[in-house]
Amino acid sequence: MSNRNMIFMILFALVIFVGSKSVYVIKETERGVLLKFGEVVNPDIQPGLHFKVPFVNNVRKFDGRVLTVDSQPEPFFTQEKKALIVDSYAKFRVSDTAKFYTATNGEEARAMGLLAQRINDGLRNQVAVRTIQEVVSGERDELMEDLANDLRDVVKTELGVELVDVRVKQIDLPRDVSDSVYRRMNAEREKEAREHRAQGQELAEGIRAAADREVTVIAANAYRDAEQIRGNGDAEATRIYAESFNQDPEFYSFTRSLKAYQESFQGQGDVLLVQPDSEFFRYLKDSSGGK
């Protein structure tokens, strides 16, 4: 191989090397800054194909998607000086690439550590002004909302990131206080249950008394109406009997005697001892009844 060909190949390789160092790509999911001797000259490189000056310019790329920082569970003291173990996480993304680079040197792990530290400080302040009941259930959503509002401007100014959301995953009590808190909460629930039972019993007694009174009134009214109907029926029956008997008193007397005979001699062994001239045998001796 001649010297000329060797020089040509060396120049070609140098061109390829320089060209590869001059071209770079920013993806849609990335954010990038262009540096010139370590100084930021373009803080927001748009996605696409770009060129740079080799050995003069340098490009730092960051993940532009929403990232998650999972903080380690930390003990925090409430307003009553009771310790709570709080486990939280946060969602964030890079918003100011220049600030993010200068604050963290472009290292996501360092950014997560700084953000986790600020979240823990904010949680400590928020928990310190609330009781255990408020932190656990009463004002949990309000606590997270206040924490996020307090941290958004701070982390954007100091770290160049946008805080999307902060959430508390779990709140636990230390073993030395969990039993006492449980007993107190159990006593409060039992007291509340007794109050509800007493109120329910009082209400039940009132409903039962009203029902008994209503039953008594309904039964009395029904008895009164029944007696009135029965009295009217007896009066009507008496009137009908009287009208019928007045039409033929002798026939009525005869039918009553027959019924008396029938009821007196129902059994074969029945014995009736009366005087022969008794009025009871009037129709047996004389069908005309004495007429």
Residue type, position 233, single letter: G
Task: Judge whether 24 and 59 are in contact, CB under 8 Å.
Answer: yes
Pull the structure tokens for residue 221.
């009214």
For 32, residues 6+ apart whose C-beta sits below 8 A from its C-beta are 26, 45, 59, 60, 61, 62, 97
Cβ atoms within 10 Å of 34's Cβ, excluding its own: 21
What is residue 279's DSSP assignment?
G
Residue type, 188: E
How many helices (H) and strands (E) in the chain?
A: 8, 9
Per-residue pLDDT in tens (0 to 9) along the chain, 291 residues:
567 767 767 776 766 666 566 777 888 888 888 888 877 777 788 888 877 777 777 788 888 889 999 888 888 888 888 888 888 899 999 888 888 888 888 888 898 999 999 999 998 998 888 887 888 776 778 888 888 888 889 898 889 899 998 888 888 877 766 677 677 778 888 999 999 999 999 999 999 999 999 999 999 999 999 999 999 998 888 888 777 777 777 777 777 777 776 776 666 666 666 666 666 666 666 555 444
Q: Which of 55, 56, 13, 52 is CA-nearest to residue 32?
A: 52
- Give the integer Cα–Cα distance in Å for 44 and 49: 14
Token pair for 269: 């062994």
Q: What is the pTM of this model?
A: 0.53
